[in-house]
Amino acid sequence: MKQVFWFDGYGNVQSKEVADDYVLQAGELDPQPEQSGNTNDEQKALASLGMQVAQLKTQNTQILSMVGKLGLQIAKGDN
C-alpha cells in the first residue's frame, strides 16, 4: 500500500491509501516514488519540499481567514 495526494477545490491537501500498483489519476501526486537508490540529497530535497507544502498550507489558511473576516465586515457594512 502507498499514499496518494491531491489538492481539493479549496487548495487543501487530501490523501488516500491505494494499492502499490495503483495508476495515478489526473492531479494526483505520489510522494513516494520508486525507491531505486535515492541519495541522501534526494531525501533532503523531499523533506524540504514537504516543509514548503506545510508552510504554503498554513499561509493559505491565514489568507482564507482574512478573506472571511473582510467578507463579514463588508456584510455588516463596516468600512
Cell 502507498: give the residue.
2
Given CA atoms 39, 40, 46, 49 in this order, what sign does their dihedral have?
negative
Q: Structural domain boundaries of the chain?
A: 1-31, 39-79
pLDDT beyond 90 at 6:
no
**Model pLDDT for residues 21-73, shown as the tens digit of each residue:** 777 777 776 666 555 556 777 778 888 888 899 899 999 999 999 999 999 99
DSSP letter at 37 equals S
pLDDT on residue 24:
72
pLDDT on residue 50:
86
What gap in Å lies between CA 33 and CA 35, rounded to an integer? 6
For residue 72, the surrounding DSSP H or E stretch is: helix 40-76
DSSP letter at 57 equals H
pLDDT on residue 79:
58
pLDDT beyond 60 at 2:
yes
Cell 530535497: give the residue.
45
Which one is predicted more confidently, 30 or 3? 3
